[in-house]
Structure 1
Amino acid sequence: MKQTPPAGAPRKTSFLRSMRAVAWSLIGLRAGEEYRRDLQNIQPLHVVLVGLIALFALVLGLMLLVRWVV
């Protein structure tokens, strides 16, 4: 049985929403009310996982670029 959080507790975001928020933050377009809401709701584990995924994608992209050029 799933328990619902109390009315005053902040709601945790999904992993997909965390990915979107971190992606917008990386390019510098996150501001205003959405930014404040994300600061309250984003789970730190999601931020770490998104960072690792982004790092892996960057390294893979650079390897493919080097292979394509050479």
Structure 2
Amino acid sequence: MSEAGQDLREAVQRPASLGQTMRAVAWSFFGVRKGAEHERDIAKLNPVHVIIAGVAGAALFVTALVVLVRWVIASGVAG
């Protein structure tokens, strides 16, 4: 097996919890992270969980924006 394949298998076996993954993804949406925390996250987070959490976070963000825009338009404030 290649070294890259072995590295990927090790990364997928990382033991970070759902809460740690969601917190790291939430901070990444704001773009604010300390260097030490970023390095710790890289060592602990499962990349598959990060991708799933990122897609879910983006979907929630878009849904919240759509709901906000519909509420503003329906309230008559925009027009």
1:20 aligns with 2:23: yes
Gap regions ≥5 residues in structure 1: 1-9
Counterpart residue type for residue 34 of structure 2: A
TM-score, with structure 2 as normaliser: 0.65
Larger Rg: 2
> Residue 42 of structure 2 aligns to a residue in which SS?
helix
Residue 3 of structure 1 corresponds to: none
Aligned length: 61
More helix by share: 2
Q: Are residues 25 and 55 of structure 1, via their aligned partners in 2, closer, same or farther at CA, if it must alter by over 3 Å?
A: closer
Deviations 1:20-47 (A, max 9, x none): 0121122122123221111111101111
1:1-70 paired onto structure 2 within 5 Å: 12-70=15-73
Alignment root-mean-square deviation, CA: 1.8
Deviation at 1:17, TM superposition (A): 0.4
Distance in 2 separating the partners of 1:64 and 1:11: 36
Q: Which runs of 4+ in 1 moved over 6 A?
A: none
Using the aligned pairs only, state the percent identity: 43
